[in-house]
Structure 1
Amino acid sequence: MSIVPPGAAGSSSAPAASGVGPLLRGWREQRRVSQLELALRAGSSARHISFVETGRSRPSEEMVLRLAEHLDVPVRERNALLLAAGYAPHYPETPLGDPSMDALREGVERLIQGYEPYPALVVDATYDVLAANRAIAMLLDGVPERLLVPPLNAMRLTLHPEGLAPRIRNLRAWRDHLLAQMDRQIALRRSEPLRALYEEVAAYPVPDTDPEPAGDDEPLGAVASFALPMRIEHEGRVLSFISSISTFNTPMDVTVAELAIETFLPADPATVKYLHALSS
């Protein structure tokens, strides 16, 4: 599956009209950093940080970027801080379909294809699927067409009662893991679209108990002891996967900053054997 351009769902909700001071104070408080600690990190003074936050002093463009870096503010939100301070955005937001992104796009596609026969996909800041390999398509066998209409959303496909949820044997634990992951992302990004997605999928009905294991004559993957696996049924077999998410180091573009590559590593020998048998 080729990479498709992401939508604008990751857009910042930070109001530039409120001024940069309150926005910086909000990020500092969210990160639980004192004015003195932030000043020491940024090579400034607590007095100057206080003046910036109260609007008594207008920070330079360099200072805004320096404070944002030490507060681990996402790239998209750094642009919002600059706008609120009266400066132009520093980080571009280049569409994935732009020719300048060819090397990145082709490299990511080769990466997830090379991961076959194990599942891998690429998502944006709101978990819309931008690319996926054939092993992901295999897991989606049987999902209703209406849930597969682009843009596909990984969280919606996984937790929807007509999606993968009925086939996930440890649904309650896996659902808790995914919701906690989204909650951390909301705290980091302050994304209203992501919060709306969280509220949607958190409201999906959940069974009182997880599905019973498959019959005794249907082999089950052993439960991994080193990390929480996703145990999902496929054609009468239960496959076990450990999920890993990778992002780009020091991104200088909003689009690149919000890309994530999720790979699913088989958690037991039976899953490895089954996937290799399918691929051959």
Structure 2
Amino acid sequence: MTIVPSGDAAPATTPVGQGGVGPLLRAWREQRRVSQLELALQAGSSARHISFIETGRSRPSEEMVLRLAEHLDVPVRERNALLLAAGYAPRYPHTPLDDPALAALREGMERLIQGYEPYPALVVDATYNVVAANRGITMLLDGIPEALLTQPLNAMRLTLHPEGLAPRIRNFREWRGHLLIQMERQIALQRSAPLRELYEEVAAYPVPESATGAEPAEPVPYFALPMQIEHAGRTLSFISSISTFNTPLDVTVAELAVETLLPADPATVKYLQSLLP
């Protein structure tokens, strides 16, 4: 599947209030549960200076804003919001994925997920819109209603919707719980309004009747929670792995994630190798 822009609006950043950068930095610090003294030691400053920045008595330099954001693990998109609130220009560009400047990135991701075949792999953005997928993913989506396959595809909707993959997932309750917890953690880290809207939508989906009251699949000595999914009368088992880019300098790149589904048993390996040689 060719890499395509998701088509959705970019996730909203933290609103820039009239109080300047201080309240925003304080909110990130409190969310990360770091004291002023701890942050000061990490950033090579003093607790007094951090206090003055947070209360607006001192205007931090551009370098200090970025240093504090780094130690507070503020997402790249939100670092731009902090810079704007402090009166500086955004540092990190937000390049559309189809821009020629990202051609090497697109080609690299295409080669990566195609090279993973016959096993499933896909690339998603910050709100789980699918921007690329290989034939392994296409195979799993066989038979999904067209209404769920319109652009932009959304991995969470496809997985949790009662007309999507949900009825096919044998351990659906376990897998659903895992995905919702994953989204909750991301919301806490990123404070993304669009991601929270998506979470509220998919969390409200009814559980398919096939999963109502059903016991989880019989325990197997897997090394991680597998997704056990029915396909063509077989039960396939996959372990999910998610990769992101180190030290991204672009908002778009920072919000991309590559998810690969590793076969969790020999039967799944054999079936996929026979299906997608």
Assess same fold via TM > 0.5: yes
1:141-180 paired onto structure 2 within 5 Å: 141-180=142-181
Q: Give the TM-score normalised by structure 1.
A: 0.94
**Amino acid corresponding to residue 232 of structure 2 in structure 1:** E
Deviation at 1:141, TM superposition (A): 0.6
Residues in 2 aligned to 1:131 and 1:137: alpha-carbon distance in whole angstroms? 11
Q: Does 1:254 align with 2:251?
A: yes
Q: Does 1:74 align with 2:78?
A: no
Deviation at 1:14, TM superposition (A): 1.0
1:73-222 paired onto structure 2 within 5 Å: 73-206=74-207, 207-210=211-214
Identity %: 79
**Amino acid corresponding to residue 268 of structure 2 in structure 1:** T
Matched residue, 1:216: none
Segment drifting more, 91-100 vs 117-126: 91-100
Do 2:11 and 2:126's aligned partners in 1 also have CA atoms closer than 8 Å? no
**Amino acid corresponding to residue 274 of structure 2 in structure 1:** A
Do 1:223 and 1:240's aligned partners in 2 also have CA atoms closer than 8 Å? no
Do 1:92 and 1:253's aligned partners in 2 also have CA atoms closer than 8 Å? yes
Residues in 2 aligned to 1:76 and 1:95: alpha-carbon distance in whole angstroms? 14
Residues in 2 aligned to 1:7 and 1:88: alpha-carbon distance in whole angstroms? 26
Report the count of equivalent residues: 273
Name the SS for the 2:74 alignment partner. coil
Equivalent position to 2:241, from 237, 240, 244 = 244
Matched residue, 1:266: 263
1:97-130 superposed Cα distances (whole Å, 9 cap, x missing partner)? 1111111100000000000000000000000000
Q: Does 1:3 align with 2:3?
A: yes
**Amino acid corresponding to residue 52 of structure 1 in structure 2:** I
Residues in 2 aligned to 1:159 and 1:243: alpha-carbon distance in whole angstroms? 16
Residues in 2 aligned to 1:209 and 1:29: alpha-carbon distance in whole angstroms? 40
Q: Give the TM-score normalised by structure 2.
A: 0.95
Do 2:8 and 2:152's aligned partners in 1 also have CA atoms closer than 8 Å? no
Residues in 2 aligned to 1:141 and 1:149: alpha-carbon distance in whole angstroms? 14
Structure 1 residues 142, 258: CA separation in 2 closer, same or farther (over 3 Å shift)? same
1:132-177 superposed Cα distances (whole Å, 9 cap, x missing partner)? 0011000001100000000000000000000000000000000000
Deviation at 1:223, TM superposition (A): 3.3
Q: Which runs of 5+ in 1 are unaligned?
A: 214-219
Structure 1 residues 111, 235: CA separation in 2 closer, same or farther (over 3 Å shift)? same
- Name the Cα RMSD after superposition: 1.5
Structure 1 residues 5, 266: CA separation in 2 closer, same or farther (over 3 Å shift)? same
**Amino acid corresponding to residue 228 of structure 1 in structure 2:** L
Name the SS for the 2:162 alignment partner. coil
Residues in 1 aligned to 2:44 and 2:152: alpha-carbon distance in whole angstroms? 44
Do 1:223 and 1:229's aligned partners in 2 also have CA atoms closer than 8 Å? no
Residues in 2 aligned to 1:77 and 1:131: alpha-carbon distance in whole angstroms? 25
Deviation at 1:279, TM superposition (A): 1.2
Q: Does 1:47 align with 2:44?
A: no
Matched residue, 1:217: none
Do 2:95 and 2:251's aligned partners in 1 also have CA atoms closer than 8 Å? yes
1:33-87 superposed Cα distances (whole Å, 9 cap, x missing partner)? 0000000000111001001001111111100000000000000000000011111
Residues in 1 aligned to 2:8 and 2:26: alpha-carbon distance in whole angstroms? 26
**Amino acid corresponding to residue 153 of structure 2 in structure 1:** L
Name the SS for the 1:17 alignment partner. coil
Structure 1 residues 177, 65: CA separation in 2 closer, same or farther (over 3 Å shift)? same
Deviation at 1:13, TM superposition (A): 3.4
